[in-house]
Structure 1
Amino acid sequence: MSKSPATRARPLSPHLTIYKPPITMTMSILHRITGGALYFGTLLVAWWLIAAAVSEQYFDFVNGIFGSWFGRLVLFGYTWALMHHLAGGVRHLVWDTGAGLEKHTASKIGWATLVASVALTVLIWIAGYMARGA
């Protein structure tokens, strides 16, 4: 007695609960997400610049928001998104030359992208605090 096609067990296609995403895939997804996040962050930069042009009181208001713990967290995230997107762009530029396309090398470059983006973000914020004397 054969089973009907509707009741036969079908193999599962690999998905995120079964398949471990490679670092290159993860970095590609993050590159796209950070690109989108940069649109939002650039609106914040424009808001800050417009506030500076409007009045001192409005600039102080916007600067106060950016200086709050939440504002600084958003700006830290914006800085990381910018650095990650930059590092991802360099990664793609290297790949455009035909270099680093081997699986092992591409994985190393993917990890280097992540490490570089975090390191650059931390260095930028440390330099900012040192420049302010805080």
Structure 2
Amino acid sequence: MTSPLPVSGDDQSGRPALQPNGRPHPLSPHLQVWRWHVTMAASILHRISGSALSAGAVLVGIWLLALAFGPESYATFTGLSASPPGLLVWFGLTLALTYHLASGIRHLIWDAGAALDLKGANLLASLSIWLGLLAGVAFWVWLFVSGSVSL
């Protein structure tokens, strides 16, 4: 069976390409075709923050292992965590956590059927980015002001 659509196997123009079974299928547009908008950025940040939190879970597991292996191991871990690079990692994980939480609330609102229009979706995406950022920074300001963390 031949297709009335033009078929090309290797171009990225959006025209159909051949599947392994010989039938044509459209290629996905490349990122250069899409115009960036806040909901796209929020979606990408949600995925990145989820991946960072997976790495953070491994770090928490290492912390628990250091605790289980005794005072020397725990002191080494806390020493590394309290160093400027360690604090930067924990700060990044805090931002990932607060943003992912704010973005999860955005998704819950959408699941309830609210703010699905363009204006509402853009507003929620912007709010989730800013609230996640502000909450993470506020938490670390509080840590430094309270004396719990110092450089």
What letter matches 1:109 in structure 2? L
- Counterpart of 2:100, as a letter, is H
Post-superposition shift, 1:113?
A: 0.6
Which residue of 1 is the match for residue 103 of structure 2? Answer: 88
The alignment status of 1:44 with 2:59, answered yes or no, reads yes
In the alignment, which residue of structure 1 is the partner of 2:118? 103
SS of the aligned residue for 1:78 comes to helix
1:70 aligns with 2:85: yes
Q: Deviations over 1:78-128 (max 9, x none)?
A: 001111110110000000111011101110110101100110001111111
* Inter-partner Cα distance in structure 2 for 1:57 and 1:98: 53
Normalised by the length of structure 2, the TM-score is 0.75
Structure 1 equivalent of residue 25 of structure 2: none
- Equivalent-residue separation in structure 1 for 2:128 and 2:86 (angstroms): 26
Query: How far off its partner does 1:63 sit?
Result: 0.8
Q: Deviating runs (4+, > 4 A) in structure 1?
A: 10-14
Gaps of 5+ in 2: 1-5, 15-28
RMSD across aligned C-alpha pairs, in angstroms? 2.1
Aligned length: 127
TM-score (norm. length: structure 1): 0.84
Aligned counterparts of 1:102 and 1:123: Cα–Cα separation in 2:
31
Higher helix share: 1
Instruction: Letter of the 2:42 partner, please give it.
Output: M
User: Quick one: higher RCO (CA 8 Å, sep 6+), 1 or 2?
Assistant: 1
Structure 1: stretches of 5+ with no match in the other structure: none
